[in-house]
């Protein structure tokens, strides 16, 4: 009986870990991409290459800023980041206004500065060493 119980608990644990990793795959993928770039002295990142799902606009989303209304989609998006100073959240919005989010925190080694909203073709970032954060390339947002 103990052996059967151990097998059941082990299977549930493995399933739970697998489900968590699949659920957080986009988060981990983007964070790994940005950390790899920074650690290798490459301070340029293109979200068009890093996030391969269907999206046309990326916006920062933090509870301190409140909900985000976008007239283009006639839709309000609730914040997706945790309500903490070091947390960040990104909304990736498709042409229909549907979205998926990627969240993280400075403890992941990634932070953003002055993101706002950027169309996919302008979602290019550089690592600001003095701020220790990724920021949109100035020419990318214009």
Q: CA separation (Å) from 55 to 27, 63, 107, 119?
A: 15, 22, 26, 9
| Residue 88: partners with Cβ closer than 8 Å, 6 or more residues away | 60, 62, 81, 103, 104, 105, 106, 110, 111, 112
- CA atoms of 29 and 10, how far apart (whole Å): 27
Please tell me the distance from the alpha carbon of residue 128 to that of residue 102, in angstroms, as a whole number.
21
**80-139 pLDDT tens trace:** 988 888 889 999 999 999 999 999 888 888 888 878 999 999 999 999 888 888 999 976
Q: pTM of the prediction?
A: 0.76
Provide the residue ranges of all domains of the chain, joining segments of one domain with +. 24-141
């Amino acid at each position: 009986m103990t052996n059967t119980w151990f097998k059941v608990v082990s299977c549930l644990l493995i399933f739970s870990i697998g489900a968590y990793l699949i659920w957080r795959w986009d988060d981990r993928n983007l964070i790994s991409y940005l950390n790899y770039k920074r650690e290798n002295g490459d301070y340029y990142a293109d979200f068009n290459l890093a996030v391969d799902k269907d999206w046309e606009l990326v916006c920062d989303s933090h509870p301190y800023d409140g909900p985000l209304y976008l007239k283009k989609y006639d839709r309000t998006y609730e914040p997706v980041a945790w309500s903490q100073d070091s947390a960040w959240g990104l909304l990736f919005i498709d042409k229909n206004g549907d979205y998926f989010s990627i969240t993280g925190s400075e403890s992941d080694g990634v932070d953003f500065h002055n993101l706002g909203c950027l169309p996919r073709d302008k979602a290019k970032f550089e690592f600001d060493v003095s701020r220790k954060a990724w920021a949109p390339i100035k020419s990318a947002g214009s």
